[in-house]
Amino acid sequence: MYPAIPFNKPYFSGNETRYIEQAVRSGKISGDGLFTHRVHRFFEQQLGFQKVMLTTSCTDALEMAALLLNIQPGDEVLVPSFTFVSTANAFVLRGAKIVFADSTSLNPNIDAAALESLITPRTRVVVPVHYAGIACDMDAIQAVAERQGLVVVEDAAHAIDSYHRGRALGSLGTLAAFSFHETKNIISGEGGMLAINDVDYGPRAEVIREKGTTRAAFFRGEVDKYGWVDVGSSFLPSDIIAAYLWAQLENLADIQRQRKTIWQRYYTALTPLRAQGIGLPVLPDYATNNGHLFYLVCRSLTERTALITYLKQRGVWIVFHYLSLHKSAYYKAQHDSRALPWADLYSERLVRLPLFYELSETDQDRIINEVLGFYQTY
Domains annotated on the chain, with CATH: 16-249 (3.40.640.10), 252-377 (3.90.1150.10)
Looking at residue 212, its pLDDT comes to: 85
Q: What is the mean pLDDT of residues 307-332?
A: 97
Between these two residues, 294 and 219, which has the higher pLDDT value? 294
Sheet with 51-55, strands from edge to edge, namely 51-55, 192-196, 175-179, 151-155, 123-126, 76-80, 97-101
Cβ partners under 8 Å of residue 229, min gap 6: 207, 212, 213, 214
In the predicted structure, residue 224 carries a pLDDT above the cut 90:
no
Strand ranges in 67-197 using DSSP code E only, listed in sequence order: 76-80, 97-101, 123-126, 151-155, 163-164, 167-168, 175-179, 192-196
In the predicted structure, residue 2 carries a pLDDT above the cut 80:
no
Instruction: Give yes or no for a contact between 198 and 177, defined as CB atoms under 8 angstroms apart.
Output: no
Residue in 96, 132, 102, 101 with CA at minimum distance from that of residue 119: 101
Looking at residue 226, its pLDDT comes to: 81
Cα separation of 349 and 366, whole Å? 22
Work out whether the CA dihedral 96, 65, 82, 102 comes out positive or negative.
positive
Lowest mean pLDDT among 25-29, 293-297, 354-358: 25-29
Looking at residue 195, its pLDDT comes to: 98
For residue 218, name the pLDDT band (cuts at 50, 70, 90).
low
Q: What is the mean pLDDT of residues 123-145?
A: 98
Q: Please give the share of the chain, as a percent, with pLDDT higher than 70.
A: 98
In the predicted structure, residue 118 carries a pLDDT above the cut 90:
yes
* Average pLDDT of every residue of the chain: 96
Task: Identify the three-state secondary structure at position 176.
Answer: strand
In the predicted structure, residue 28 carries a pLDDT above the cut 90:
no
Looking at residue 167, its pLDDT comes to: 97
Give me the amino acid identity at 285: D
Strand ranges in the chain using DSSP code E only, listed in sequence order: 51-55, 76-80, 97-101, 123-126, 151-155, 163-164, 167-168, 175-179, 192-196, 294-297, 350-353
255-280 pLDDT, tens digit each: 999 999 999 999 999 999 999 999 99
Cα separation of 262 and 173, whole Å? 30
In the predicted structure, residue 1 carries a pLDDT above the cut 70:
no
53-110 pLDDT, tens digit each: 999 999 999 999 999 999 999 999 999 999 999 999 999 999 999 999 999 999 999 9
Residue in 233, 210, 215, 211 with CA at minimum distance from that of residue 225: 215
Question: Could you tell me the pTM of the whole model?
Answer: 0.96
Q: Are strands 97-101 and 350-353 parallel, antiparallel or unpaired?
A: unpaired
225-241 pLDDT, tens digit each: 788 898 999 999 999 99
